[in-house]
Amino acid sequence: MNTSSALSAAPSSAVPHRVLSGIRATGRLHLGNYLGALKGMIELERRPEYQTFYMVADVHTVTTPYDVEELRHNRREIIIDYLAAGLDPEQSTLFIQSMVPEHLELAFYLASVSSVARMQHLPTFKDKVKQHPQHVTLALLNYPVLMAADILIYKATQVPVGIDQQPHLEVAREIARKMNQQYGTDFPEPQRFVTPGEYVPSLKGEGKMSKSVEGSYINLTDTLAEIEEKLKRVPSDSGRGERPPETGGAATLLKLVELFQGQEARQAYEAAYTGEGIRYAQLKSDLAEAVYQQVRPIQQRRAQLEAAPASVDQVIEAGAAKARQVASQTLEEVKYKLGLG
Ligand code: TYM
d(CA 87, CA 326): 20
Residue 27's pLDDT is: 87
Q: How far apart are the first and last CA of the chain?
A: 37
Per-residue pLDDT, averaged over 207-214, amounts to 93
Domains and CATH numbers, the chain: 4-198+308-337 (3.40.50.620), 224-305 (no CATH)
Distance CA 190, CA 177 (A): 11
The structure's pTM equals 0.94
pLDDT tens-place string over residues 14-69? 557 999 999 999 988 999 999 999 999 999 999 999 999 999 999 999 999 999 99
Q: What is the pLDDT of residue 14?
A: 53
Give percent above pLDDT 90 in the chain. 94
| DSSP single-letter state for residue 62 | T
Share of the chain above pLDDT 70, in %: 96
Determine the distance separating the centroid of ligand 1 and the alpha carbon of 162, expressed in angstroms: 6
pLDDT at 6: 41
Q: Which residue's CA is the closest to the ligand 1 atom numbered 22?
A: 161
Q: How far is the CA of 241 from the centre of ligand 1 (A)?
A: 35
Residues 114-169: tens digit of each pLDDT:
999 999 999 999 999 999 999 999 999 999 999 999 999 999 999 999 999 999 99
Task: Please state, in angstroms and rounded to a whole number, the distance separating the CA atoms of residues 71 and 67.
Answer: 6
Sign of the CA dihedral with 31 first, then 36, 37, and 39 last: positive
Nearest CA to ligand 1 atom 19: 162
Residues whose CB is less than 8 angstroms from the CB of residue 205 and which lie 6 or more positions away in sequence, other chains included: 234, 235, 247, 248, 249, 250, 251, 252
Q: Which of 60, 165, 195, 199 to mutate to test the pocket of ligand 1 (most atoms within 8 A of CB)?
A: 165
Per-residue confidence band for 246, with pLDDT thresholds at 50, 70 and 90: very high
Q: How many residues does the chain have?
A: 341
Check: CB of residue 36 under 8 Å from CB of residue 210: no
Report which of 187, 224, 190, 222 is spatially closest to residue 334, judged by C-alpha positions.
187
Residue 93: phi, psi to the nearest 5?
A: -85, 110
Mean pLDDT of 252-261: 98
In this structure, the residues whose C-beta lies within 6 A of any atom of ligand 1 are 20-24, 32-33, 35-37, 57, 60, 147, 150-151, 159, 161-162, 164-165, 168, 197-200, 208-210
* Inter-helix orientation angle 68-85/309-337, to 10°: 100
Query: Which atom of ligand 1 is closest in space to residue 147's alpha carbon?
Result: 31
If we measure between CA atoms, which residue out of 337, 327, 252 comes closest to residue 291?
A: 252
Cα(133) to centroid of ligand 1, in Å?
Answer: 22
